[in-house]
A = this chain, B = another copy of it.
Amino acid sequence: MTIQPGASAVIDADALIEKLACEGRAAQRQLAAMSSEARASALTCSAQRLRAESGSILEANAKDLAAAQDSGLSPAMLDRLALDKDRLESIAAGVEAVAGLPDPVGQVIESSQRPNGLKMSRVRVPIGTIGIIYESRPNVTADAAALCVRAGNAALLRGGSEAVHSNRAILAALTAGLEEGGVPSKAVQLIPTQDRAAVGSMLTAAGLIDMIVPRGGRSLVARVQSDARVPVLAHLDGINHTYIHSAADAEMAKTIALNAKMRRTGICGAMETLLIDAGFAEPGALVASLLDAGCELRGDGRAQALDTRIFPASADDWGTEYLDAVLSVGIVDTMDDALEHIARHSSAHTDVIVTSDDAAAEHFLTYVDSAIVMHNASSQFADGREFGLGAEIGIATGRLHARGPVALEGLTTYKWLVRGTGQARP
C-alpha cells in the first residue's frame, strides 16, 4: 500500500487506518506503562516545542490561509483557521494546563474484600485509542492530543483539509516534545491523507479505534453518528431551554436570559427556547430586554401578545438550534407543562430553571433528564473549564459512558483487579 499525500487516487483506506491504529496501539502500551509524572512532563516539553517552533507553524498556517482565501472560504471560517502569536501561545499554555491536571489513571474507584478473602478493586485505566475527527480549527490538533496523552491514550487525528499544513506543523512540534519526554511519537498521529474514505474507515474500525470524538459543525457530527460502528462521544444539537418559573426574581431572570442567549449566540450552550410561566410577574419587560438587545423572538400566540415585535413561531422552531440571535418563546401554565415541553423538544444538553422557590428548583432538577440541569445560572456555563474539569474533549448528550462536559475521566475506563491467596470457586 502506498500513500501519496495530496493525491486523489484511490487509497486502501481500511489498510491505512489499520496500520496507523496498530502502530498507535503499540505506542499506547508504552504510554500506559509510563508514570503519570513522565506523561505530564512530556506534555510540558510539547508546550515548549510549540513555542519554539512558532515560526514554522505560523508559516504553515499562512500557506493554509492563502489557499483558503483563494478557494473563497467565508470570513468566519478564515478566522477559525487563522493562527497568530497570541493564539499559538494560548495553544501552548493549554497543553501545559492539561499536563498539570490531576491524572485519573490508576485511581481506585472502589475496593472491597469478599467473605472468602478475595480483594476486589476497580482501577481507572486508559481507554486505548481515541479517534478525533475535526474541521478547520488547528488548535484541536494540540488540545485533543494533549488530553488523550494525559490520560494514557493514543490519538488518531483527522483534521480538515483547509488546515492541513497547520495541523502537520503543530503535530511535528507536539510529537517532537513528546519524544523528548520519552513518549513514542506514534502515540499521536495525523491521518496522512485528506481522502474522505479514510474517515469512513475510522468510523468502522471497531476493535482498532475505541472511541470517536467528532469536533465540528452539525453535518460532521450527524455523519459520524450515522455511520460510526465505533462508539461516539458527541452532541448533535444544543436545544437548550430556560424556564422562568412563577417565583423567579425578575431581575435575575433578565440577567440570565440575556446572558444565556446573547453572550455568544454560536456556542452549543446558548439558550434556544425561553419558557415563561404564566404566573411570572414581568414577562413583558423580560422579552423587551431581549428584543432591545437585538434578539429576534419567535413566540406562540400568548408570547406574541407580550410585544408586537415578536414573530409567530412555526412548529419547527421548537426543535431548531438557531446558533444566532434568534429565540423561541413560549408561555406555559405550570411547571408540568414546562417539563413536558422540555421532554419533547430538548436535545438533552443543558436546561435551566430560574426561580427563588428551592422546592420548585429541586423538582425541576430531578425531573429534567438532560446531561446538564441548572438552577439560577446561565446555560452558557456548559463548558468543561467552567465545571472545573480544566479542559474538555467535548460535550456528550448520549446516555452511556460519559455525559455533559467530558475531560480526562471520560477518556478512561476501568478494570477489575482481584487479589487472592489461592481461592478456587466451590
A87 within 8 A of B: no
Q: Which of A135-143, A166-174, A314-322, A414-422 contacts B (4 or more CB under 8 A)?
A: A414-422
Q: Is the pair A415, B376 in contact by a Cβ cutoff of 8 Å?
A: no
Q: Is the pair B403, A367 in contact by a Cβ cutoff of 8 Å?
A: no
Contact of A387 among B399, B416, B419 (CB under 8 A): B416
Q: Contacts of A421 on B, CB cut-off 8 Å?
A: 376
Q: Which of A114, A258, A399, A417 has the largest number of chain B CB atoms within 10 A?
A: A399
Q: Which of A32, A404, A416 has the largest number of chain B CB atoms within 10 A?
A: A416
Chain A's interface size range is: 35 or more
Q: Is the pair A252, B417 in contact by a Cβ cutoff of 8 Å?
A: no
Q: What's the nearest-Cβ distance from chain B to residue A230, in Å?
A: 10
Contact of A380 among B255, B258, B425 (CB under 8 A): B425
Q: What's the nearest-Cβ distance from chain B to residue A64, in Å?
A: 31
Q: Contacts of A125 on B, CB cut-off 8 Å?
A: 369
Within 8 A of B (CB), among A24-41: 29, 32-33
* Known A259-B424, A425-B378: A372·B418 in contact at CB below 8 Å: yes
Copy tally for this chain in the complex stands at 2
* Known A127-B400, A381-B118: A416·B263 in contact at CB below 8 Å: no
Within 8 A of B (CB), among A254-287: 255-256, 258-260, 263
Q: How far is the CA of A398 from the CA of B373 in the complex (A)?
A: 29
Contact of A419 among B375, B399, B401 (CB under 8 A): B375
Within 8 A of B (CB), among A361-383: 361, 365-367, 369-378, 380-381
Q: Is the pair B416, A372 in contact by a Cβ cutoff of 8 Å?
A: yes
A249 within 8 A of B: yes
Q: Contacts of A263 on B, CB cut-off 8 Å?
A: 424-425
Q: Which of A249, A370, A401 has the largest number of chain B CB atoms within 10 A?
A: A401
* Known A120-B388, A399-B128: A415·B404 in contact at CB below 8 Å: yes
Q: Is the pair A420, B374 in contact by a Cβ cutoff of 8 Å?
A: yes
A155 within 8 A of B: no
Q: What's the nearest-Cβ distance from chain B to residue A314, in Å?
A: 23
Q: Is the pair A211, B400 in contact by a Cβ cutoff of 8 Å?
A: yes
Q: Contacts of A416 on B, CB cut-off 8 Å?
A: 371-373, 387, 403-405
Q: What's the nearest-Cβ distance from chain B to residue A285, in Å?
A: 16
Q: Is the pair A376, B419 in contact by a Cβ cutoff of 8 Å?
A: yes
Q: Is the pair B423, A381 in contact by a Cβ cutoff of 8 Å?
A: yes
Q: How far is the CA of A388 from the CA of B119 in the complex (A)?
A: 11
Q: Contacts of A366 on B, CB cut-off 8 Å?
A: 33
Q: Is the pair B413, A403 in contact by a Cβ cutoff of 8 Å?
A: yes
Contact of A400 among B371, B376, B401, B419 (CB under 8 A): B401
Q: Is the pair A418, B375 in contact by a Cβ cutoff of 8 Å?
A: yes
Q: Is the pair A422, B255 in contact by a Cβ cutoff of 8 Å?
A: yes
Q: Is the pair B211, A367 in contact by a Cβ cutoff of 8 Å?
A: no
Q: What's the nearest-Cβ distance from chain B to residue A342, in Å?
A: 12
Q: Contacts of A415 on B, CB cut-off 8 Å?
A: 369-373, 403-404
User: What are 27 A-B pairs with beta-carbon distances under 8 A?
Assistant: A32-B369, A114-B387, A118-B381, A118-B386, A128-B399, A210-B399, A231-B231, A231-B398, A252-B422, A256-B422, A256-B424, A259-B425, A260-B424, A365-B419, A371-B415, A371-B416, A372-B416, A373-B415, A375-B417, A376-B420, A376-B422, A377-B419, A377-B422, A378-B425, A386-B425, A400-B400, A400-B413
* Residues of chain A having any CB pair with chain B under 8 Å: 29, 32-33, 112, 114, 118, 120, 125, 127-128, 210-211, 231, 249, 252, 255-256, 258-260, 263, 343, 361, 365-367, 369-378, 380-381, 386-388, 398-401, 403-405, 413-425
Known A373-B416, A374-B418, A401-B401; 11 more pairs at CB < 8 Å: A118-B386, A255-B424, A259-B424, A365-B417, A373-B415, A375-B417, A376-B419, A376-B423, A380-B424, A403-B414, A404-B415
